[in-house]
Amino acid sequence: MGVRVGWLRLAVGLGILALLFVFANPTDLLRYLITADPARLVVAALILTAATLLGAFNLHLFLPRAERPPLLRFVPLFWLAWAVGLVVPGQVGDLSTIAVALRRRGLAWQTALGRNLLDKATSLVVLGALASWGLYRWFGPRATLVTAAALGVSGVLGVLVLVWLARRTPRANWMLEIAAASLADMVQTARLHPGRVAVNTVLTLVKFLMVTSAYSFVLAAVGVHGLAFGDLLSAVAASSLVAYLPVTANGIGTAEATGVALLGTLGVPATAVLSAYLLLRALVFVLAWLPVAFWLLLHRQEAG
């Protein structure tokens, strides 16, 4: 059931992308993609690489000091989880991949998942604050509250669907017990280590500033200039926040649609926004999978 739902979410996301293609001018879209400045794309790739390394350090900060692997050994695990999360539809993604990797290295399930959940929760708080700041400035308090309520309800419904799916699996009780223990570990870690939570929050903000800079370089690569960094920051935060909702696989389609809608209100052509988002997805995919493919090939040769 979970796998079928995952592929259905992927199909929905691709359907939204198809509608965006129709809404945008396909000829102009192709022109934007072909004529994108490669130098600016390289700069964006370097920024995304640095941001990912910072993300690995951020999660490593939450792991128990006596049990966590050294940072240099943790980075490949984090990178692998990032890559898997980009291609696996459904609920199996970066969270479960890195939890399995940490479990194999001695961490309890609830610890591996709980620390990941705390890192995700911090990211959601930062994204929510940045997105709300932009929505408040653009559309006022009422629109901000309505949007926040809609996202909250969608998130709760998503969690309820996940619980319903979990109950239909052969190991339902075990999965729900692990989920409850993981949430308890997340709350306890936040209560016992407020300093780490504060550092993680600041670094999450820095990481997202870097990601937004990467977006600005990609937009510049397709010819979009003069966009205020604060406006772009809020728009990217909102599209990233929407991508968390379990509507489509990995936020495909919904993130692009949100970016087109918000940046369109700032005067950026829809086709330019869509081409930039597609280029970002391609960059992220290459950055994630190229090192992983090399690492897996090297590991296979050593094993052989």
**pLDDT confidence of residue 172:** 59
249-282 confidence digits (pLDDT tens): 778 888 999 999 999 998 999 999 999 999 999 9
Instruction: Give which of 130, 118, 95 is closest to 205, Cα–Cα.
Output: 130
Residue located via tokens 């951020």: 58
Instruction: Give which of 112, 101, 104 is closest to 181, Cα–Cα.
Output: 112
Look at residue 18 and tell me if it is in a domain. no
246: tokens are: 């379990």
Residue 108 falls in which region: left (phi positive, over 0), alpha (psi -120 to 50) or beta = beta
Look at residue 29 and tell me if it is in a domain. no
Look at residue 17 and tell me if it is in a domain. no
Residue 210 falls in which region: left (phi positive, over 0), alpha (psi -120 to 50) or beta = alpha
Q: Please indicate, yes or no, whether the overall pTM of this predicted structure exceeds 0.75.
A: yes
Quote the CA–CA distance of 79 and 139 in Å, as a whole number. 38
Structurally, the chain folds into a number of domains equal to 1
Look at residue 135 and tell me if it is in a domain. yes
Query: Cα–Cα distances in Å, from 95 out to 71, 109, 115, 248, 303?
Result: 18, 12, 10, 17, 27
Look at residue 15 and tell me if it is in a domain. no
Look at residue 30 and tell me if it is in a domain. no
Instruction: Output the DSSP codes for 129-180.
Output: HHHHHHHHHHH-HHHHHHHHHHHHHHHHHHHHHHHHHHHTSTTHHHHHHHHH
Residue-number span of the structural domain to which 66 is assigned: 2-10+35-303
For 199, the 3-state DSSP assignment is helix
113-167 confidence digits (pLDDT tens): 999 999 999 999 999 999 999 988 888 888 888 877 877 777 677 667 666 766 6
Query: Cα–Cα distances in Å, from 71 out to 78, 168, 224?
Result: 10, 38, 38
Look at residue 119 and tell me if it is in a domain. yes
- Does 303 score more than 60 pLDDT? no
Look at residue 28 and tell me if it is in a domain. no
